[in-house]
Amino acid sequence: MSSNTLPPCPQCGLEHTYPDGSNYICPDCAFEWPMQAEPSEADAAPGEAIVRDAHGNPLQNGDAVILVKDLKVKGSSSVLKKGSKIKGIRLVDGADGHNVDCKTELGSMLLKSEFLKKA
């Protein structure tokens, strides 16, 4: 694939992108985005928004995710550690932006997608 067929970076607009696995990477601003066209808001079912992780990747039911920061568990002295992998998430329309239902080592919880990245 030549640099003429690679898309420019959507973040900074420069054309120095390169492929890496299933993503494109911009060496100038370190932004990564998937090679496949992402579903747009118009493609989503009516009344259903696309849930995105901390890096802007769309999440789906059954995905595995990784925590991007330590999260304190309300009502407990426990902490979910950064880097913990959570498998088999379920997307929900939760209160206060808690839109991911999952089972962790501390039990079933609702988490915000902004603290997760797709594994």
Return the domain boundaries, the chain.
Answer: 7-37, 49-118
Region 54-73: mean pLDDT is 92
- Best-predicted range by mean pLDDT among 14-23, 29-38, 105-114? 105-114
Pick from 70-74, 75-79, 93-97: least confident: 93-97
Region 83-94: mean pLDDT is 92
Q: How confident is the model at residue 12 (pLDDT cuts 50, 70, 90)?
A: confident
Q: Do domains 7-37 and 49-118 have the same CATH topology?
A: no
Going by C-beta distance under 8 Å and a sequence separation of 6 or more, which residues neighbour residue 14?
8, 26, 28, 29
| In the predicted structure, residue 14 carries a pLDDT above the cut 80 | yes
Q: Which residue has the higher pLDDT, 70 or 22?
A: 70
pLDDT of residue 114: 92
Class of the domain covering 7-37: mainly beta
**pTM to 2 decimals?**
0.60
| In the predicted structure, residue 116 carries a pLDDT above the cut 90 | yes
Closest CA to 58 of 116, 17, 18, 2: 116
The CATH superfamily assigned to 49-118 is SH3 Domains (2.30.30.40)
Tell me the percentage of the chain whose pLDDT exceeds 90: 41
